[in-house]
Amino acid sequence: MLVTKLTKLLGIRVPVVQGGMQWVGFPPLVAAVSNAGGLGILTALSQPSPEALRQAIRETRKLTDKNFGVNITLLPTINPPDYEGYARAAVEEGVRVFETAGNNPGPLIKFFKSNGCIVIHKCTTIRHAKSASRMGVDVLSIDGFECAGHPGEEDIPGFILLARAAQELQIPYIASGGIADGRGLAAALALGAAGVNMGTRFMCTVERWVYEFGSPLQYKNAHQCYLSTIHQNIKDKIIASTEQDTIHIFRTLRNTARVFKNKVAEEVVAIERRPGGAKFEDIRHLVSGARGKQVYELGDPDAGIWTASGVVGLIKDSPTCEVLLRRIEREAEEVIDGLKALKVDEPLKAKL
């Protein structure tokens, strides 16, 4: 077992957090990750309202008796969400772990801390990490440029950010972006992290619930059966992809996002590169989240924009979260043992 500051703080078995993922972080996945020994996180903004988030929290509780968290991300949106309402609903429902991310998280962090919650704050620079640390967050999620979604505008690779975190940070941090296996976890621990955050890897898992009515994105009457909240076609697409299959959109709008390189994303980038550039209004019809959600519902990888990191090149299967986390744990332990063995090769040392 890998016991770290993260496993001790959160009371989890494996130092792996399933980070917020818009249109993916729904109760079945969240519960499956927590049941498998990691920390599952519900994505608040994937719910249409704070009241719907309450229902999703209750739904998750029916599927797991383990700890899980809620993500609230503060980034530009087409329809401004009621962030405070989501935060209040989750706290009132008894959630005690939050993942925050994005711009100006101060008031949210203050609210969660004043309610005795644990806050994991995701950041893409050491400057932001230190500032969040001063605000009282418990854990920093250090998000390298490899990550899916929004890597910020300073393009700092994860290896450098984590090594800088080891130099500068006084509170525990986890590695986020570019991790999908036990080697990644071992590397993160070597870089001083107390665990990892994974998103894209969890898109390719199967859970033990399927829903009787409507689309798999609506939760009704759970049954024992292997399925998950995103369409099988998308998982197949991820498995067939390489590390070259992501692209950055919104670079020119300073809201950079790494997404799967499909026809829609390439069209967005082409519009952004036009002489004179682009305004958000020029690409809004292509990038809206409502459109991206259809990718997962319909199983059409070209239906809209969908977030993914370069780890699509590392993903070769779609196991249960239980199998995935056990494998990651075992691989990490093997890597760590292998590194220890390097040190004790005395005959070789003598020859050199």
Q: Which residues bind ligand NAD (CB under 6 A)?
A: 20-22, 43, 45, 71, 73, 75-78, 149, 250, 253, 255, 257, 280, 287-289, 292, 307
Question: By C-beta, is 86 or 211 nearer to ligand NAD?
Answer: 86
Least gap, CB of 311 to ligand NAD (angstroms): 15
Q: Helices 289-298 and 280-287 sit at what angle, rounded to 10 degrees?
A: 20
Question: By C-beta, is 4 or 197 nearer to ligand NAD?
Answer: 197
Question: By C-beta, is 4 or 86 nearer to ligand NAD?
Answer: 86
Question: By C-beta, is 50 or 292 nearer to ligand NAD?
Answer: 292
Least gap, CB of 151 to ligand NAD (angstroms): 12
Least gap, CB of 352 to ligand NAD (angstroms): 48
Q: Do 303 and 23 touch, CB atoms closer than 8 A?
A: no
Tokens 């975190």 belong to: 165
Least gap, CB of 251 to ligand NAD (angstroms): 11
Which residues, in sequence order, are CB contacts of 336 under 8 Å at separation 6+?
186, 189
Chain position whose Cβ is nearest to ligand NAD: 289
Question: By C-beta, is 295 or 325 nearer to ligand NAD?
Answer: 295
Does an H or E element contain 8, and which? helix 5-10
Does an H or E element contain 41, and which? strand 40-43
Instruction: Identify the burial level of 247 via C-beta atoms within 10 angstroms of its C-beta, where 0-12 means exposed, 13-18 middle and 19 or more buried.
Output: middle
Question: By C-beta, is 7 or 309 nearer to ligand NAD?
Answer: 309
**Token couple for 82:** 């009621």
Q: Do 143 and 20 touch, CB atoms closer than 8 A?
A: no
Angle of CA points 147, 150, 154, to nearest 5°: 85
Least gap, CB of 346 to ligand NAD (angstroms): 48
Least gap, CB of 250 to ligand NAD (angstroms): 5
Q: How many of the other CB atoms lie within 10 Å of CB of 216?
A: 18
